[in-house]
Structure 1
């Protein structure tokens, strides 16, 4: 018997409905594999960072030059609604959420962008339902390791966005439009202001002045110093209720599904939060109805 003919006719025939259901299952499986490949690439990046931990530790406090290239001296000016120890965290979500995710990021860090772009949907779902509060902290380790000031400039700009309640959409736009790691394009204040045009109502004279003057440079420098003194291995550092979950927890790789599972386990028997973290957080949430896509554009 012809082999091709035999394969085609072996086994019971499928009905059209069964074929459609089978295709749907295969498509879902392909999508799961695609997501895991993306997250896996992020894990590989983090493991690569482990090879230069000594360099990161040595240079973490060097990437803190001001917008004019000078030292970021002067008293730190925290952005509106900053919280936590020494007001170094920008909170997103309910202040009384039963679980807290502490995140340390560098806007030039490609693994941070991979993490944010993969996990964004799950994070917004957990924040919106009062299950999770996320405290964002910023470091400038790549400025220190590779030279330049893009990490600092972007962190100052996102703090300026926090001042007017636009932190979340602008944060997402920056990661959606991150340049290649060696390209210090975020060092250009004009580029940061251009990207602010993707967030409705953000590109104002006040925001431009804040970005160009480096209003929060010293605050970013203080945050970077806290990162260096915290003994963290690299960015992103992600802690759920104080325990590391990136790139994995208990042998299971981080993913949107696993994050939801871990938060549900941590929150078992606890009430969801209802109190907004700050006025700036409320404004940011209100702006999400008109929030633009963070989809990457040409550098």
Structure 2
């Protein structure tokens, strides 16, 4: 083989490698754009649902469901926040969600890995707060029942994995499948060690129903347009922060900027007390 042929083959291989890298970069950008577009595309629906549900009322009087019993480890004013990540992380992401809300599922399923990565690295603490807007909009009790089951999972120290399972198996918005406690217990089987007699009893008895109703009341009385409402250190970031659209990459960037010069958190919240 001549020197010219060898040089030509080498150049062809280099061009092929460069093209593959360009293709990978384009695919990564395409996935990020799809996630961001999907999140933004359902925001209008979420906002409408929030407005309508806020005016429908519904059975959300905590006194009808017994005393308010906060899940183990709940924090904040009136113990309405369920924390995840190091308690001394330099930034806090507050997420108001409804387990029946399709926009919430798009956000969670698109940003889950990024949020877990940031919490695992001690860069971010998450405060999950629960609302029940879709019950008020379409009827049924799936928002309430799923939120109570998630609070029961918090008692067992397994809120985050169960929370993720619920969003990965969310029924259509108008389908009240989460209103069936048997379905919620079935999904608990996907979280190692969660499906126990204590968890089942908590779900069936609606142990935290009044707590969920109290959380929903605080959401309705707050200055929120719908779910999900996502705040980074108190500043709204969904669907955008300033002029930048939310995406997994931008969320990482915003957290990095907010944490500049600060040490990662290391203090983990105490394990929930056995019930």
TM-score by length of 1: 0.84
Q: Distance in 1 between matches of 2:134 and 2:223?
A: 16
What is the match of residue 245 of structure 2? 253
- Asked if structure 2 preserves the Cα contact closer than 8 Å seen for 1:72 and 1:221, the reply is no
Runs of 5+ consecutive residues of structure 1 not aligned to the other structure? 1-12, 284-299
Runs of 5+ consecutive residues of structure 2 not aligned to the other structure? 1-9
Q: Distance in 2 between matches of 1:34 and 1:169?
A: 24
Which of the residues 176, 179, 183 maps onto 1:184? 176
Task: Give the length in aligned residue pairs.
Answer: 266
**What is the RMSD of the two structures over their aligned residues, measured on CA atoms?**
2.0
What is the match of residue 191 of structure 2? 199
What is the match of residue 97 of structure 2? 105
CA-CA distance at 1:65 after TM superposition: 7.9
Q: Distance in 1 between matches of 2:59 and 2:259?
A: 38
What is the match of residue 240 of structure 1? 232
TM-score by length of 2: 0.91
Which of the residues 52, 60, 66 maps onto 1:64? 60
Which of the residues 230, 253, 264 maps onto 2:256? 264
Which of the residues 64, 68, 76 maps onto 2:68? 76
Q: Cα distance 1:189–1:102, how it changes in 2: closer, same or farther (>3 A)?
A: same
Deviates more, 1:236-245 or 1:42-51: 42-51
- Asked if structure 2 preserves the Cα contact closer than 8 Å seen for 1:154 and 1:186, the reply is yes
Q: Distance in 2 between matches of 1:41 and 1:242?
A: 24
Which of the residues 19, 29, 33 maps onto 1:22? 19
- Asked if structure 2 preserves the Cα contact closer than 8 Å seen for 1:238 and 1:245, the reply is yes
What is the match of residue 32 of structure 1? 29
- Asked if structure 1 preserves the Cα contact closer than 8 Å seen for 2:50 and 2:227, the reply is no
Q: Cα distance 1:14–1:181, how it changes in 2: closer, same or farther (>3 A)?
A: farther
- Asked if structure 2 preserves the Cα contact closer than 8 Å seen for 1:63 and 1:152, the reply is no
- Asked if structure 1 preserves the Cα contact closer than 8 Å seen for 2:46 and 2:103, the reply is no
Q: Cα distance 1:107–1:72, how it changes in 2: closer, same or farther (>3 A)?
A: farther
CA-CA distance at 1:212 after TM superposition: 0.5
Which of the residues 17, 24, 38 maps onto 1:41? 38
- Asked if structure 1 preserves the Cα contact closer than 8 Å seen for 2:114 and 2:248, the reply is yes
What is the match of residue 6 of structure 2? none
